[in-house]
Amino acid sequence: MARPQTKTFDKIKTVAENRRARYDYYIDETLEAGIVLTGTEVKSLRFGEGSIAESYAEVRNGEVWLVNSNLPEFSHGNRFNHVPKRPRKLLLNEREIARLQGSVERKGMTLVPLSIYFNGRGRAKVELALARGKNVADKRQTSKDRDWQRQKARVMREHG
């Protein structure tokens, strides 16, 4: 039986990407979540500003929150501007939230945001991953594998 293909999301414009997450974690499953934003936060994202490098998601009181993400203040936002590092609510189904909470509590997994992007309808979305942490030896092996793949591709280009 063929292995099921991973689901790709309709990413029109990627705003922020957590590139370190794939180095620090084993990604088991990815899912798409909506994000509750204020007007100036959306404008700031549309200008391509934002960082999720140190952020994570947690389940509190049956809701999922994106913690420690940085969306800088909008330059023309006057007194109605937003707080840059406030927790932001993620929009998921109750069944998905319950499954994620069970995985985090029982299996010791982590919810890591991989990217923030705008989909085809212009909505801001977060690609969220259910991940397990890597130790130092695993990270070393990952970098060795990546270097080997790069060398192999270089040799194949040169000789054939």
Domains of the chain, each with CATH number or no CATH: 13-134 (2.40.280.10)
DSSP assignment of 113-160:
EEEEEE-TTS-EEEEEEEEEE--HHHHHHHHHHHHHHHHHHHHHHHH-
Whole-prediction pTM? 0.81
Determine the 3-state secondary structure of 66 from DSSP: strand
Summarize pLDDT for 36-81 with one digit per residue, the tens. Answer: 998 888 988 998 888 899 999 999 999 999 999 988 888 887 787 8
pLDDT of residue 9: 75
Report yes or no: 128 and 57 within 8 Å, Cβ to Cβ.
Answer: yes
Structure tokens at 72: 């800088």
Q: Is the pLDDT of residue 20 over 70?
A: yes
Residues of the chain with pLDDT > 70: what percent?
94
Phi, psi of 79 (to 5 degrees): -80, -10
Tell me the residue length of the chain.
Answer: 160
Average pLDDT over residues 94-119: 91
Give Cβ neighbours of residue 146 (< 8 Å, ≥ 6 apart). Answer: none
pLDDT at 4 over 70: no
Q: How far apart are CA 88 and CA 71, in angstroms?
A: 10
Using the predicted structure, report yes or no on whether residue 130 has a pLDDT greater than 90.
yes
Q: How many CA atoms lie within 13 A of 8 on its CB side?
A: 4
- pLDDT of 150 strictly over 90: yes
Distance in angstroms (rounded) separating the CA atoms of residues 113 and 20: 11
pLDDT at 11: 80
